[in-house]
Structure 1
């Protein structure tokens, strides 16, 4: 239990630090995670844009929480939503040029926070 609680504590501290460092850019940790998934890799099926349920699996959010987050990112002009051609009930999300530029600007900040917060204590 002590090890588990230690993992939870590191996770909580890291998320708080990410939120603090990303706030000046108008992002939170979860916002960045979604942009990072969208900007960093092709969708699992090789198409442009990710299906919402595939993003949810990558960022560990419920589909409803993710839908609200995507709505905020869309309102800011960072992502676009569209219907899936292969499944009319599905929604695809992709970054805009503004979203890709912000991701590129903020990625080094996020990676530096992770490196600092997750460094081995004896290193």
Structure 2
């Protein structure tokens, strides 16, 4: 038997998801501030650290944008900041000269490794708390 949610319950569930996301992002920003990065910065470093399915080392900007859920222009600004900080490098795409690839530097790998435990601890705390609030 399928139980249908009321429109009000559906909207409230959506608002709860948005609230949990906002609280978690704020907590991540606070926790990662000491590492000199924010939540979005870490997401980019985290995806890059996992490696591209194509070459295991770099991502095209479009691939990265899809992974971190940022617009291409917002991601371009973020990548430029990370590059200025020495955490990533950008280069021409070998298969399409119009494309740009982004790759972690050694400094980026170190920053990611230092920030990862903080990030995961905040996620665990916030998501476990969010699960008990619903």
TM-score by length of 1: 0.95
The answer to whether the aligner puts 1:30 opposite 2:40 as a matched pair is: yes
Structure 2 unmatched runs, 5+ = 1-10
Which entry has the higher C-alpha Rg, 1 or 2?
A: 2
Aligned length: 121
1:45 is displaced (CA, Å) by 1.8
1:58 is displaced (CA, Å) by 0.2
The answer to whether the aligner puts 1:100 opposite 2:114 as a matched pair is: no
- Determine if contact 2:89/2:102 at 8 Å carries over to the other structure: yes
Moved over 4 A (4+): none
Partner residue of 1:14?
24
Structure 1 unmatched runs, 5+ = none
**Cα distance in structure 2, aligned partners of 1:26 and 1:67:** 19
TM-score by length of 2: 0.87
The answer to whether the aligner puts 1:121 opposite 2:96 as a matched pair is: no
- Determine if contact 2:60/2:100 at 8 Å carries over to the other structure: yes
Partner residue of 1:91?
100
Partner residue of 1:51?
60
Give a deviation string over 1:52-76, Cα, whole Å, max 9, x none.
Answer: 0000000000000000000000000
1:121 is displaced (CA, Å) by 1.5
- Determine if contact 2:48/2:57 at 8 Å carries over to the other structure: no
